[in-house]
């Protein structure tokens, strides 16, 4: 089955810097890749997603890039702010599997002042 | 607020007991998903229902079961509870019905503590 891996369990950046979190996936049939942000004790919130027919998607300070050849996708956050501090989960889904999401273990992003 | 509701917010019970967690999807969503999140762990997919029928199953224990009712709300039943079942249980919903994956919106979760 599909497996999803995150390269960094934690990432610390200074306020205003950029943060990049990379995620790999195993199944080349995966075609939907969302990123969720989860604050402590709260629900995962979708922040951006990308489908396999697109290489990059941007929404204000957040962007996601997809490299299908290398089977990885990355979350980019620019001009980080303290409120960006949270755990970020990547996930992947395969068409025809009823949208079942396979999640990575999460990267804790800490934005320091 | 995602529009997905879950009750109760917290549940404390003893080993061997049985509990029921409830989820109401967003208005218009036909698919409901259940996920388990243990301490410092990622989200593990348990089971999915679409319009009342089971659509996909993940690593769901035999002691766990779920159903989706005609009004589209779903319940996750956990029985013969063990200490290791303590976790956050999230429900998510999506429109569903398409062969392509669609966006899932998560509820606030139920924190289950088994003592």
What's the pLDDT tens digit per position in A30-86?
999 999 999 988 999 999 999 998 899 999 999 999 999 999 999 999 999 999 999
The band of B96, judged by pLDDT with boundaries at 50, 70 and 90, is confident
Nearest Cβ partner for B42 among A31, A34, A89: A89
The DSSP H or E segment spanning A111 is: strand A107-112
Tokens describing residue A32? 């939907």
8 A C-beta contact, residue B13 and residue B115? yes
A87 interfacial to chain B (CB closer than 8 Å): no
Inter-chain CB proximity A98 and B100 less than 8 Å = no
A34 interfacial to chain B (CB closer than 8 Å): yes
Query: Looking at the predicted structure, is the pLDDT value of residue A97 above 70?
Result: no
pLDDT reported for residue A96: 66
d(CA B86, CA B24): 22
Query: Looking at the predicted structure, is the pLDDT value of residue A4 above 90?
Result: no
């Amino acid at each position: 089955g599909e497996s999803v891996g995150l390269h960094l369990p934690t990432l610390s950046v200074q306020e205003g810097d950029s943060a990049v979190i990379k995620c790999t996936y195993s199944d080349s049939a995966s075609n939907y890749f969302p990123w969720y942000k989860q604050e402590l004790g709260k629900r995962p919130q979708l922040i951006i997603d990308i489908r396999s027919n697109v290489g990059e998607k941007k929404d204000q300070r957040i962007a996601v890039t997809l490299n299908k050849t290398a089977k990885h996708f990355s979350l980019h956050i620019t001009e980080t702010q303290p409120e960006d501090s949270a755990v970020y989960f990547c996930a992947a889904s395969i068409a025809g599997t009823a949208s079942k999401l396979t999640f990575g273990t999460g990267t804790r992003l800490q934005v320091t002042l | 607020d995602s529009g997905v509701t879950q009750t109760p917010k917290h549940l404390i019970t003893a080993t061997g007991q049985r509990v029921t967690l409830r989820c109401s999807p967003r208005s218009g969503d036909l698919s409901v998903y259940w996920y388990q999140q243990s301490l410092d762990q990622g989200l593990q997919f348990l089971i999915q229902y679409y319009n009342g029928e089971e659509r996909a199953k993940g690593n769901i224990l035999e002691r766990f079961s779920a159903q989706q009712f005609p009004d589209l709300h779903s319940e996750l039943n956990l029985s013969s509870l063990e200490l290791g079942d303590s976790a956050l249980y999230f429900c998510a919903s999506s429109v569903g019905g398409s062969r392509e994956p669609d966006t899932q919106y998560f509820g606030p979760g139920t924190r289950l503590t088994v003592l």
